[in-house]
Amino acid sequence: MAMTNMDDGRVFQIGELAEEFGLTLRTMRFYEDYGLLKPERDGFARRYKHRDRAKLSLICRAKRLGFTLEEIKQFLELYAIGDHQVGQMQYLLDRARARAVTIEQQIEDGKQTLNELREIEAQIERHLTKQSGPHDTDAADGKAKGRELP
């Protein structure tokens, strides 16, 4: 009668979920303080139910996507008020698109940076091979300084 193994009625304690999602206890509690989670209490201990676990899953995923906790909080609030709020849904879509734009930008920047780095690598390599030939044992004490960077 106690139904302790029905999947929907399953309760988790903090350590279980922390391990499942690769978080620390501190992080779980922090999310609660932040307003992302509100598990019930069994006396003093937190009791996470199926819905809390789903929320936590969303939080982790959004974090992987690079959203801030503040944004995630707003997302959760949007979901909490229900889908009939089309305007809010539109807002959520906007946020996702904005994030996509940011990431595209970052990718472009990264490619540009990579190109510059490749050039620098090449220059250093030329520098090294040039010196590995005629290696002056200790010449040019103070005058070698002042060379412009690649």
Partner DNA sequence: GCCGCACCTTACGTTAACGTAAGCTGCCAG
Partner DNA sequence: CTGGCAGCTTACGTTAACGTAAGGTGCGGC
Residues that bind its own copies (CB under 8 A): 51, 54, 57-58, 61, 64-66, 79-80, 82-84, 86, 89-90, 92-93, 96-97, 99-100, 103-104, 106-107, 110-111, 113-114, 116-118, 120-121, 124-125, 127-128, 131-132, 135-136, 138-141, 144-149
Which DSSP string do the residues of 49-109 spell out, in sequence order? -HHHHHHHHHHHHHHHTT--HHHHHHHHHHHHT-TT-HHHHHHHHHHHHHHHHHHHHHHHH
Going by C-alpha positions, the residue among 61, 60, 30, 57 that lies closest to residue 46 is 30
Q: Toward DNA, which CB reaches closer, 144 or 149?
A: 149
- How many whole angstroms separate alpha carbon 96 and alpha carbon 101? 9
Distance between CA atoms of 65 and 63, rounded to whole angstroms?
Answer: 5
> Of the listed pieces 22-30, 76-84, 93-101, 120-128, which binds DNA according to CB under 7 A?
22-30
70 binds, among its own copies, DNA, none (CB under 5 to 8 A by kind): DNA
Taking the least distance from each CB to DNA, the nearer of 68 and 115 is: 68
DSSP state of 48: B
Among 22, 43, 133, 134, binds DNA (CB under 7 A): 43
Give least dist CB 134 to DNA, A: 38
32 with 39: CB under 8 angstroms?
yes
Q: Is position 44 an interface residue for DNA (rule: CB under 7 A)? A: yes
